[in-house]
Amino acid sequence: MSEQTQKPEQEVELNEELDQMQVDVEAAVEAADQHAEGEQSPEAEIAMLYAELEAAKQTIADQKDGVVRAAADVDNIRRRAAQDVEKAHKFALEKFANELLPVIDNLERAIEFSDKENEALKPLLEGIDMTVKSFNDAVAKFGVEIVNPQGEQFNPDFHQAMSIQPSNDVSPNTVLAVMQKGYTLNGRLLRPAMVMVSKSADA
């Protein structure tokens, strides 16, 4: 083969090698770009990890807050239930006690309006008096207390003023007379005492 024939063939092979090298370089550049896009810088990775850590902390804080609120709700429910039970124990006898008050009133009226000078009635009155005392002692064991404010200052929370009487002997708003005793059950008013209250005679 002549020298002139070999020269074009060498040029063709050289051009093919150059073209292949260019293709290889472009492929390498593209692969490098894809690798760079797929991998983040250390700073970016650290920032992403911090963000994930903060999100996890917030989730934990939210869950902890929910647990605390749930525990507080349970505690409130338990406390209210205990208060309801306590009130039920204290005031379960309220209706029953109210039914007993007229009986006590009638026994006391029997003593008050009877003829105490009548010797024949004295044993009977003594028996009624003992019955009243036993009645009061029995209900007192269950928290029923008498409100008998004779000579005390008028208290609208426990007394009901039936009349007002001028008086210079006592200070104004003093209970001059108790027309009907009041009663409480464990501090709660069952019935107010019906009273006569003083006012200044100069008014």
- pLDDT digit string, tens, across residues 64-123: 888 888 888 888 999 998 888 887 777 788 888 899 999 999 999 988 888 888 888 888
Q: Which fold has domain 93-199?
A: Nucleotide Exchange Factor Grpe; Chain A, domain 2 (2.30.22)
* Three-state DSSP class for residue 98: helix
**Radius of gyration of the chain from its Cα atoms, rounded to whole angstroms:** 50
Domain ranges for the chain: 3-87, 93-199
HEC per residue, 29-91 = HHHHHHHHHHCCCHHHHHHHHHHHHHHHHHHHHHHHHHHHHHHHHHHHHHHHHHHHHHHHHHH
pLDDT at residue 1 greater than cutoff 60: no
Which residue has better confidence, 19 or 97? 97
Q: What is the pLDDT of residue 195?
A: 96
Give the strand pairing for 188-191 and 182-185. antiparallel
pLDDT at residue 23 greater than cutoff 70: no
CA distance readout (Å), 172 to 156, 157, 197: 14, 17, 8
Which residue has better confidence, 53 or 139? 139
Interacting residues of 8 by C-beta distance below 8 A, sequence separation 6+ = none
| Residue 42 banded pLDDT, cuts 50, 70, 90 | confident
Q: For 130-174, what is each residue's pLDDT tens digit? A: 999 999 999 999 899 999 999 999 999 999 999 999 988 889 999
Give the strand pairing for 193-199 and 188-191. unpaired
pLDDT at residue 48 greater than cutoff 70: yes
The b-or-e profile of 49-83 (16+ CB within 10 A means b, else e) is eeeeeeeeeeeeeeeeeeeeeeeeeeeeeeeeeee
Q: What is the pLDDT of residue 68?
A: 85
Which residue has better confidence, 43 or 118? 118
Q: What is the pLDDT of residue 3?
A: 47
pTM of the model as a whole: 0.58
For the chain, the distance separating the N- and C-terminal CA atoms, rounded to the nearest angstrom, is 152
